[in-house]
Chains A and B, each alone.
Chain A
Amino acid sequence: MLSRVAESLFWMSRYFERAENTARFLDVNFNLLLDLNKITHVENPSYWVALILVTSDKDRFNTLYDEYSARTVTDYLVFNKSNPNSITSCIGLARENARSIIESISSEMWEQVNNLYHYLQNVTPQFVQNDPYGFYKEIKNASHLFQGITDNTFSHNEGWDFIQIAKYLERTDNIARLIDVKYHMLLSEAQSQPELVAGSEDIIQWMAVLKSCSALEAFRKVYLSKIDPDNILRFLILDRTFPRSINFSVCAAEDALWRISGSSRHRYVNNADRLIGKLEAELSYTAIEDIFATGLHNYLADLEQRLMKVGEQVHLTYFAYHTPEIESTDIEEALPFTGIAGGRANWSQAQQHQQQQ
């Protein structure tokens, strides 16, 4: 498979997953605020700032808006085109990547990403405000449909594995961020308002975290009604069977990487395999107490770093097809790890406009 094609599959999948996760955060936040309506005001900025923290975009957000509110945060995360992580941007980028490899994916996959793109072009802020639940559901379903179409219309060979790697790396990263931010918020509240943390609001907040991972029902089946933070963290980080837990996602990414390279347990052939194998092995032998001993925030920050390293190694092993001798160095620097989102797509744009007969 062409390296460029593999890379575009990777980014197409990654951006689609990112859009879905953003829709999940926003959806759950709305629901949460409705639940909390009696205790706190819907426009309470502290519930909206968290969403910006999850996406590590505080600085960019502040240059664009004056306040954290339902309106500004929704606009930023759903519509804003200067935010590369907004749902509209992500689906636009997923489509650009798909478009550049349209002959390699199935036409059903293309139609799905293209449909969603056109759907988003017609959505207005008013529409989302009137029916947030319906809108986010549409995005989530579109993503599920895309994955189902991919599984059923696209050969399960190397290209499919790159799609899986991207999906699960992105998902792991998102779960880690979500937990980190939620925990951080609760901790700071515990210091200012200790009576709330022990109460029902705390439980509702943690249920919201589970819901945003579609994990509430699965969690209940394992832990019955014992909704306490330790169990929730144990489930979201260490459960091996739930598809939106960190451990499951890392295993799935590892499987896909090993299928591509032909690696097996105890024998790796490249650094991407080695790093993901190490991560998976550690997760398998970690107890929630170990995580608390490290400190949850430190643990998650370290995890995010390591996921990034895995991504870099995937890039170097399979996608880095540039030849420095014919491309100037400043372009080379702008290239790594961006997919079509980065500078690469545009630098030859003018020349591509050559006349056609």
Chain B
Amino acid sequence: MIRFFERYEAETAQFFDEVISKEGAPRPHYDKMLHRFGQFSVDDIKARREIVNIFFRNQGITFTVYGEDEGVERLFPFDLIPRVVPSHEWQIIEKGLIQRITALNAFLNDIYHGQKILKDKIIPAELILGSQHFRREFIGVNPPLGIYIHVTGSDIIRDGQGNYMVLEDNLRTPSGVSYMLQNRQAMKRAFPVLFDKYKIRPIENYPQELLRTLQEISPASRRDPNVVLLTPGIYNSAYFEHSFLARQMGIELTEGKDLVVNNNKVYTRTTRGLEQVDVIYRRVDDAYLDPLVFRPDSKLGVAGLVNAYRKGNVTLANAIGCGVADDKVIYSFVPKIIKYYLGEDPILENVPTWLASNPADLKYILANLDSLVVKAANESGGYGMLIGPESTVEQQENFAEMIVANPRNYIAQPTISLSRHPSFFNDTELFGCHIDLRPYVLYGKTVTIVPGGLTRVALKRGSLVVNSSQGGGSKDTWVVDE
């Protein structure tokens, strides 16, 4: 019956497999899907693969890999087998994320106002004040509704027992939500028959929810706030997403050169003159936002933007200086942060983390480089990482030197065997590939999470890195009501 799964080796002794249980039987929420896939022939799968490829190419859903020849646009690898998250599991994720994001926002508000958490010595002050993402200039600035992190995307993984854990908080400019939406569209085109077997919660309202959130944080009492999206430009790897979201929300997609600040107000330059802007959903890093305040050589920013923001004439989403809370060092304190501000125990666990800045931890890290994952505190996108078990002695020695030279900048975690999910390598065979999950959290007057997220897949056999810049792909993610 289950043709494609006959030769599938789940290796459940080593990994948590999303589809096959330790006993070797399909988990109940995958029953119907396995049955359906069992009815497909290799040719069926190839034909559907073609539909998906044409869909992505026609939509221009490509990304650019830096460091390769210019003009190399690739299709974002997409795996045809959707991931199913039963609603009782989703409930845990949802509650856990709302708790976590609420606490992190309270933390940011505190750091940029009274700094009580530092005075109470819950977190060593030097870790915050020495962070490269801490923006001293914003102490005392009051963003509307007291919200700093309007759009976040936390990376969630499952350990060997299948427990959901948070691996990383992305509080600055998380990307990938357009892939979440387009993956669903692609699946609807290629496998309409799968959909009538499941009660899948819709995610299509994400752009409307995002726009509502952005309108809610408008500084002016203007009835119809002017919201724009600020992109670095068409050569940015996430440009497709920027244009996609702007189109879905019906707002202007702007580059830095489209905006001008006059008298501490921000305007767009149009064929009819200047128009005032109230809210900027910016997908440009802090460092490039304003050449007068941050990097003076920035060609992507707007001179005077930061002052307009400080005056309260425009709202930036996310606020400036959020990076201080998604730093990988601060990450290790999030359970304490939740306890401190909310008086609750964290619903979603952290991955155990050693800080190189802590002498005892440093000793442990240096002694165990061959088994740990070492990460630079401020990098993203899978750059600046050492995966112990896959590294050479030379790489370990290099990292040891860098860690000793700048301990504040490094953390280490045990090599977690991310859960695995069967994926098509070519269209004839299935392999277990490691996956994670990035749900997107919106924070306006309320905290909203559309049910689902982007499931990223490490499509290199055995690889643990799911980032698209490192050869990862993605798959559709279904939160289903049972």
Contacts and interface: CB of A to CB of B under 8 A. Distances in A.
A39 interface: no
22 contacts: A2-B269, A2-B270, A2-B271, A4-B258, A96-B234, A100-B234, A103-B253, A114-B58, A114-B60, A260-B271, A326-B303, A348-B299, A348-B300, A351-B288, A353-B237, A354-B232, A354-B284, A354-B285, A356-B173, A356-B175, A356-B380, A357-B170
B271 A6 contact: yes
A356 B236 contact: yes
Contacts of B59: 107, 111
A322 B233 CA distance: 16
Contacts, number: 112
A322 B257 contact: yes
B318 to A, nearest CB: 11
Interface in B52-101: 57-60, 66
Contact of B269 (A3, A115, A348, A353): A3
Given A103-B247, A318-B271, A321-B258, A351 B175 contact: no
Given A357-B174, A357-B175, A102 B60 contact: yes
A345 interface: yes
B286 to A, nearest CB: 10
B307 to A, nearest CB: 14
A321 B269 CA distance: 7
A124 interface: no
Interface stretch (B28-36, B158-166, B238-246): B238-246
Contacts of B237: 353, 356
Interface of A: 1-6, 96, 99-104, 107, 110-111, 114-115, 118, 158, 260, 318, 321-323, 326, 345, 347-349, 351-357
Given A322-B257, A323-B260, A347-B299, A352 B173 contact: no
Contact of A353 (B236, B247, B258, B283): B236
Contacts of B284: 354
Question: By CB atoms of chain B within 10 A, which of A114, A115, A355 has the most?
Answer: A355
Contacts of A323: 260
Contacts of A345: 234-235
Interface of A is mostly: helix
Contact of A357 (B173, B236, B288): B173
A44 to B, nearest CB: 37
B349 interface: no
B203 to A, nearest CB: 19
Given A110-B60, A353-B237, A3 B270 contact: yes
A182 B234 CA distance: 41
A353 B66 contact: yes
A326 B256 CA distance: 12
B216 interface: no
Given A4-B257, A99-B60, 13 more contacts: A2-B268, A3-B269, A3-B271, A100-B233, A102-B244, A103-B253, A104-B247, A110-B60, A158-B271, A351-B299, A352-B235, A352-B300, A354-B232
Contacts of B260: 323
A333 to B, nearest CB: 16
Contact of B246 (A4, A103, A349, A354): A103
Interface string B336-367: 00000000000000000000000000000000
Contacts of A2: 252, 254, 258, 268-271
A100 to B, nearest CB: 5
B319 to A, nearest CB: 15
Question: By CB atoms of chain B within 10 A, which of A103, A118, A356 has the most?
Answer: A356
A355 B238 CA distance: 9
Contacts of A158: 271
B117 to A, nearest CB: 24
B243 A103 contact: yes
Given A2-B252, A356-B175, A357-B170, A326 B291 contact: yes
A348 B238 CA distance: 16
Nearest to A103: B247
B101 to A, nearest CB: 15
Sorted nearest first, the 6 A-B pairs with minimum C-beta distance are A103-B247, A348-B299, A357-B170, A321-B269, A352-B232, A352-B235
Contacts of B66: 353
A349 B235 contact: yes
B379 to A, nearest CB: 7
A325 to B, nearest CB: 8
B244 A103 contact: yes
Contacts of B239: 99, 352
A271 to B, nearest CB: 15
Contacts of B173: 356-357
B175 A102 contact: no
A259 to B, nearest CB: 12
Nearest to A107: B59
Nearest to B302: A326
A267 B66 CA distance: 53
Interface in B279-332: 283-285, 288, 291, 298-300, 303, 326
Contact of B381 (A104, A322, A356): A356
B444 interface: no
A174 to B, nearest CB: 26
A351 B233 CA distance: 9
B412 to A, nearest CB: 21
A351 B303 CA distance: 16
A118 B153 CA distance: 34
